[in-house]
Amino acid sequence: MTAEPDPQSQIHWFLLGMRGIFSLPAIILMLSFVGFAAFTAEAKVPVEQVMFMTGIVWALPAKVILVGSMLSDAHVATAFLAVTLSSVRMMPMVAALVPEIRTRRTPTFLLLVISHFVAITAWVFAMQKVREVPRGGRVAFFAGFGVTLTLSNVVLVGLAYGAVSEFPPLVSGCLFFLTPVYFLTSIWISARHQVIYWALGIGLVLGYVFAVIAPQYDILLTGLVGGTLAWWGERALRRREAAR
Containing H/E element for 223?
helix 218-243
Write the DSSP symbol of residue 57: S
Under a CB-based contact definition with an 8 Å cutoff, are residues 15 and 39 in contact? no
Greatest CA span in the chain, whole angstroms? 62
Dist CA 43 CA 21 (whole Å): 28
Q: Are 219 and 74 in contact (CB under 8 A)?
A: yes
> What type of residue is 136?
G
Please give the chain's pLDDT, 244 residues, in tens: 444 555 558 889 999 999 999 987 788 888 888 888 888 888 888 999 999 999 988 788 788 888 888 887 777 888 888 788 778 878 888 988 899 899 888 999 999 999 999 988 888 888 888 888 999 899 999 999 999 999 999 999 999 888 876 777 677 667 767 666 766 776 676 666 777 788 888 888 988 898 888 877 777 788 788 888 888 887 887 788 777 7
